[in-house]
Amino acid sequence: MTRVLIYLVRFAAIIFGYAVAALAASVFLHLVTLGPGFADGELAGAVGSLLFSATAVAVLAAYFAFIPSLPVILIAEISGRRDWLFYALGGIFVAVAVLSLFWLRSGGGFDEGAAGGTVFGDTRFAAVMIGSGIVGGIAYWAAAGRWAGTWHSQERQAAPEQARDRIRRPDGELG
């Protein structure tokens, strides 16, 4: 395979893994926050709205976590990290970065506002966000992270073949 094709296939795997991670984090958020509130028979009627809501929250999670997740993905790809613990810790890093972004946009304080307080004064919110980061990181590992850095070995295998093809003589023999 050519280098460009190797890079494109790996980039597609990274995008797919990121989408899976955002969806897994969203489903985790929904299960933790909304799961205990349903009685036995109510959950069956709410499945359609929960699927729509989980998809919408996944888009928002992907939007807010994109920039903080880039260093984690780049470090994993360049160094070839393929263990799930690295991605779980990376998910914690991304979740803390997103929490920091929300905290700074809210004015940087935990004081009570017009609604009786901010959500950042509640440690459950931070715990749920960090938990969703861990779930998202492990989901990324399962979808794309297990093959991080494989483009290095594929590139090394493709390089000698390309070099050999470049030095062929017009009569078809190697020169």
Q: What is the pLDDT of residue 59?
A: 94
Task: Reply yes or no on whether the pLDDT at 115 is more than 60.
Answer: no
Task: Reply yes or no on whether the pLDDT at 60 is more than 50.
Answer: yes
Average pLDDT of every residue of the chain: 80
What's the whole-model pTM score? 0.76
Q: Kindly state the average pLDDT of the residues 2-6.
A: 83
Q: Kindly state the average pLDDT of the residues 26-42.
A: 77
Q: Kindly state the average pLDDT of the residues 27-49.
A: 74
Q: For 25, how many CA atoms within 13 A lie in the half-sphere containing its CB?
A: 35
Q: How confident is the model at residue 114 (pLDDT cuts 50, 70, 90)?
A: very low
Q: How many CB atoms lie within 10 A of CB 60?
A: 11
